[in-house]
């Protein structure tokens, strides 16, 4: 008898219980609007790992929001100049971008720290500084001035030192060199006597071919092979001491980002975090294979001499200290960066470097 009463009570209650569910559906829809953003990349489609990082973010944001928040990525130059992505985001003409902050050192040299500075942090060290060493808070502070919010979104790992028409044996060989190079490294090479220039990736090959520039650095073997630099400048130098790791960022217009529902903001953060780890892993797979092919095809792999590295180290310290003397914010970030670098270098010298020095050689010599 009790069982029958309970069943009748449940049946009577069922229609009433269904009413709140029906009313709740529009409320849920209101919190999940259809949002469409455009993303401008600073990189051409041919640099597949770089450009596909933006595509990864766009795809994952769509998946995490059940297709209600869609981002359409465009290669550099299609909807904004490759080196003007920050400007497009700042004005709000484009909602977001995938770029490198050191492209904009003309606005403020302190922006270089969040991508790479000469003799700075490698990819792993930079991640630690950004997440737990105060680096991201310093970048957030800067980005507010450009009406933008930034999320780490990929790292190339240590880069190569570039392609040169002729050998660079001594510091004197650097003098008069027209060198495509980005960030504060341009000022370091200028101090050594070179003439730096910033050239978009899509224009580097033609500039080398025409002799507009004598040398160019971009990323590493995988991208450099695709862009064909070895055909016009066969001397390939290592390491890219000005980019021991190069962190890229997803930038969003602050007003557009603030208008997003919380789950959409979380989707961006998750997608960028995934892409941040994904990029360096992809390069670590692709670069060794590409380097072998380049050398087999005739590229001349060379290494900077110690005197050149030491001259560059001294020049870099001079550049950094002079900029700190003129720019209080640069000074504050430099102090944070140097302290973290000195501490982490000490630890990695004991752990990572001592292992690397033996194992990398032993793998080729010890049987």
Question: Is residue 130 in some structural domain?
Answer: yes
Q: Are 146 and 183 in contact (CB under 8 A)?
A: no
Number of domains in the chain: 1
Q: Are 36 and 72 in contact (CB under 8 A)?
A: yes
What is the rounded CA–CA span in Å between residue 139 and residue 154? 16
Question: Is residue 132 in some structural domain?
Answer: yes
What is the rounded CA–CA span in Å between residue 280 and residue 274? 11
From first to last of the 367 residues of the chain, give the pLDDT tens digit.
Answer: 444 444 343 333 334 333 444 434 444 345 689 999 999 999 999 999 999 999 999 999 999 999 999 999 999 999 999 999 999 999 999 999 999 999 999 999 999 999 999 999 999 999 999 999 999 999 999 999 999 999 999 999 999 999 999 999 999 999 999 999 988 999 999 999 999 998 888 899 999 999 999 999 999 999 999 999 999 999 999 999 999 999 999 999 999 999 999 999 999 999 999 999 999 999 999 999 999 999 999 999 999 999 999 999 999 999 999 999 999 999 999 999 999 999 999 999 999 999 999 999 898 888 7
State whether residue 116 is helix, strand or coil. Answer: coil
* Residue 202 CB coordination number (10 Å): 17
Residue 268: which domain range?
A: 32-158+245-284
Question: Is residue 137 in some structural domain?
Answer: yes
State whether residue 173 is helix, strand or coil. Answer: helix
Q: Are 348 and 125 in contact (CB under 8 A)?
A: yes
What is the rounded CA–CA span in Å between residue 115 and residue 307? 26
Question: Is residue 231 in some structural domain?
Answer: no
Question: Is residue 50 in some structural domain?
Answer: yes
- Altogether, the residues listed in the chain come to a count of 367
Question: Is residue 148 in some structural domain?
Answer: yes
Question: Is residue 24 in some structural domain?
Answer: no
* CATH number, residue 111: 3.40.190.170
Reference 123, options 21, 229, 240; nearest CA is 240
Alpha-carbon distances, residue 26 vs 22, 62, 67, 250, 265 (angstroms) = 8, 21, 18, 32, 21
First-to-last CA distance in the chain? Answer: 85
pTM of the model: 0.88
Reference 85, options 125, 113, 43; nearest CA is 43
What is the rounded CA–CA span in Å between residue 16 and residue 217? 69
Question: Is residue 221 in some structural domain?
Answer: no
């Amino acid at each position: 008898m009790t069982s029958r009463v309970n069943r009748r009570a449940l049946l009577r209650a069922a229609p009433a219980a269904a009413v709140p569910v029906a009313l709740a559906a529009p409320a849920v829809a209101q919190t999940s609007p259809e949002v469409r953003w455009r993303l401008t990349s600073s990189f051409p489609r041919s640099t597949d790992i770089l450009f596909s990082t933006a595509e990864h973010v766009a795809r994952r944001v769509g998946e995490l929001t059940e297709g209600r928040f869609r981002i359409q990525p465009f290669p550099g130059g299609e909807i904004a100049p490759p080196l003007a992505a920050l400007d497009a985001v700042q004005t709000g003409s484009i909602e977001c971008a995938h770029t490198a902050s050191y492209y904009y050192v003309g606005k403020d040299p302190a922006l270089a720290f969040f991508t790479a500075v000469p003799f700075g942090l490698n990819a792993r060290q930079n991640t630690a500084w950004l997440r737990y060493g105060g680096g991201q808070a310093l970048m957030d502070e800067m980005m507010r001035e450009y009406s933008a919010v930034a999320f780490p979104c990929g790292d190339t790992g240590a880069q190569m030192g570039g392609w040169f028409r002729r050998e660079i044996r001594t510091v004197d060989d650097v003098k008069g060199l027209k060198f495509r190079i980005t960030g504060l490294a341009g000022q370091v090479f200028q101090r050594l006597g070179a003439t730096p220039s910033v050239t978009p990736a899509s224009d580097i090959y033609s500039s080398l071919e025409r002799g507009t520039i004598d040398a160019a650095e971009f990323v590493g073997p995988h991208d450099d092979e695709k862009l064909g630099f070895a055909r016009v400048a066969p001397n390939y130098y290592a390491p890219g001491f000005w980019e021991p790791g190069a962190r890229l960022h997803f930038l969003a217009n602050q007003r557009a980002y603030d208008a997003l529902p919380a789950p959409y903001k979380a989707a961006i953060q998750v997608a960028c975090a995934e892409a941040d780890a994904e990029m360096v892993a992809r390069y670590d797979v692709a670069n060794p294979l590409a380097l072998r092919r380049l050398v087999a095809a005739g590229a001349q792999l060379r290494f900077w001499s110690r005197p050149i590295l030491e001259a560059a180290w001294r020049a870099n310290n001079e550049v950094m200290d002079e900029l700190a003397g003129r720019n209080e914010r640069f000074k504050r970030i430099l102090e944070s960066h140097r302290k973290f670098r000195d501490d982490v270098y000490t630890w990695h010298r004991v752990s990572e470097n001592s292992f690397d020095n033996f194992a990398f050689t032993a793998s080729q010599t010890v049987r």
